[in-house]
Amino acid sequence: MPSTRAVAVDPPTVRLDDVHLAYDDSPLFEQLELTLPAGSWTCLLGRSGCGKSTLLRLIAGLATGGESRFTLSTDDQSPLRHRIAWMAQQDLLLPWSRVIDNVTLGSRLRGQTTDRERAHELLAAVGLTHAAQRRPEALSGGQRSRIALARTLYEGASVVLMDEPFASLDAITRLELHELAARLLAGRTVIMVTHDPAEALRLADRLLVMHGLPATLSLHEAPSGTPPRDIHDAELITHQRQLLDLLNEQTAPTDIAVGQQ
């Protein structure tokens, strides 16, 4: 099979500065700062409801349901629009379109010629060649998530935002797709929300833990070695214990952030 790699073009450093966001005058973020170094993979962890998904939505320019103000910038001074691939918690597949057309959706919406050969290669890479002509209703939740991942990888974007992309997969498929994503997203600026410390430690160049209200971010050191790291590596396991202890110490968020993970 030909390589499904699409070369990233000059991935930017992305900065969010002085982020303020509140729901009914109750602050979720106050003066929050975030930097995503060019070409690095950042994983964002934290208790459910602390604001992780909301932060991704701010970067993507999507509505959050709250009152916000912030500065979003890149080191190359170019806007992020048309350079972002977004993978939400929900698969967001179009129910009336066949799988192959869902994978190539971005090209079709932009009025570009679709690269169906690459789309088929990506479907093969996620183990769903046989499903190319099916509609989403015929697929399981895990299969739909794999289609959503193929659609994200198809974009070849230089900035990739992923919200729990592997959460609905079985353990073995998850490890296999870690390998695929790490290979195809190498050299891009990636931020991924996950609730799985082992997954974060396996994939990330940088780990950020979100906690508190208003939320703050703390940097946790990644294990040595090149991602995707061996899940059985002793150093990774040590880091996992430390992360679990840190997350266990955190107080669960109040109702202000319910649904804003």
What mean pLDDT do residues 120-143 have? 96
pLDDT at 258 over 80: no
Q: Which fold has domain 1-83+157-261?
A: Rossmann fold (3.40.50)
Q: How far, in Å, CA of 184 to CA of 255, rounded? A: 38
Residue 7 pLDDT > 70, yes or no?
Answer: no
pLDDT tens-place string over residues 195-249: 999 999 999 999 999 999 999 999 999 999 999 999 999 999 999 999 999 898 8
Q: Residue 224: which residues within 8 A CB-CB, separation 6 or more?
A: 235
Q: Which residues contact 214 (CB under 8 A, 6 or more apart)?
A: 27, 28, 29, 30, 32
- pLDDT at position 2 is 43
Amino acid code (one letter) for 217:
L
pLDDT at 26 over 60: yes
Quote the pTM value: 0.91
Mean pLDDT of 177-200: 96
| pLDDT above 90 (res 256) | no
